Structure 1
Amino acid sequence: MTTPAELPVTWAPRRTRAVLLPVCGLLVVMFAVIAVALPANWQLNDRIMMVLSGLLFAAAGVMLARPRVSADAEGVTVVNFVRSRRLAWAEIVRVNFRQGDPWATLDLADGTSLAAVGIQSGVGKAQAIADARALRDLVEGHGR
């Protein structure tokens, strides 16, 4: 039997963030250096577009580093790539993390489901299973 997680708790793919965020910074710097080092026959708008390209790639990386699932006494906040959603404990019916799933999903009381990308198998299968079980235990404890 696992011990319930202490609230507040956050699950996030920390290694993914640790890699992506510095790479995003490096992309911005690299594209800016390339924009400055371009041959003289390149115009200012070409250089600006080069920097904006670096910013666009970095923004995509930051978006991929966003996912997390946070639980506190009032409920759960799921932050995915683009959107975030706040759920009360009673709104969550079940936590699913089946074999082969890339991340956990939450079955909701309104009949829909919500991906919880912050709990993903990319961090390691055993860790993801433990995180999903911890969230499941919290849902079972608070949802009743």
Structure 2
Amino acid sequence: MSDQPSLPVTFRPGRTRAVLLTAGVAIFVVISAVALLLEQLGPGERLSFIVTGALVFWVLALLARVKVVADESGVTVVNIASRRRLDWAEILQVNLRPGDPWVFLDLSDGTSLPALGIQPGIAKERAIADARILRTLVEARAIRDPEQHQG
């Protein structure tokens, strides 16, 4: 158990997050600057440029918010537009197969939940290590009925 991190632990794609937020700020600044520098634009057109830049930033910020938080009572998965709280026993398996865009959690209700907070995009080794840590935490904390897994 000494190889497990102390809880709570947060998994998130740090490099991807930095790229998305940096791009969002840059796009907002450039579009806003263009709106302010183009003299032929009226106030409504300038505002529409700035609102468009803000919308692009907002979408990129939504993409950057993904994370997986493990604590003593379970796991919270924050994806682009959703948040789901899971008890440890609800998670049957943590999967990150070659070619997967992110981790998938196999759940006790028969469904699979994507956990975008662990994704091998820019930092593949980090994602693999994070998936192993989460898998170890799930295996150590999940108390299941052996009859539940027959068949």
Normalising by structure 2, we get a TM-score of 0.88
List alignment gaps of at least 5 residues for structure 2.
Answer: 144-151
Q: Match of 2:114, as an amino acid?
A: A
Runs of 4+ in 1 over 3 A off after TM superposition: none
d(CA) in 1 for partners of 2:33, 2:126: 39
Amino acid at match of 1:143: A
Q: Counterparts of 1:12 and 1:119 in 2: how far apart (Å)? A: 6
Which deviates more from structure 2 when the two are superposed, residues 96-105 or residues 24-33?
24-33
Matched, 1:10 2:1: no
Partner in structure 2 of residue 28 of structure 1: 28
SS at match of 1:118: coil
Query: Which structure 1 residue ranges, 5 or more long, are not aligned?
Result: none
1:90: how far off?
A: 1.1
CA deviation digits over 1:42-69, x for unaligned, max 9? 2221111100110111111101111111
**Deviations 1:20-46 (CA, angstroms, capped at 9, x unpaired):** 212222222222211111133x22211
State how 1:1-144 maps to structure 2 within 5 Å: 3-40=3-40, 42-144=41-143
Query: Helix, strand or coil for the counterpart of 1:82?
Result: coil
Tell me, in whole angstroms, the C-alpha distance in 2 between the residues paired with 1:75 and 1:109: 14
Q: Can you list the C-alpha shifts for 1:79-102, whole angstroms capped at 9, x where unaligned?
A: 111111111111111111111111
Asked whether the 8 Å contact 2:15–2:123 carries over to 1, the reply is no
Matching residue of 2:147: none
Amino acid at match of 1:49: S
Normalized against structure 1, the TM-score is what? 0.92
**In the alignment, is the contact (CA less than 8 A) between 2:93 and 2:106 conserved in 1?**
yes
Q: Report the residue type matching 2:86 in the other structure.
A: L
- Aligned positions, number: 143
Alpha-carbon offset, residue 2 of structure 1: 8.1
Greater displacement, 12-21 / 70-79: 12-21
Please give the alpha-carbon distance, in whole angstroms, between the structure 2 residues aligned to 1:125 and 1:26.
Answer: 26
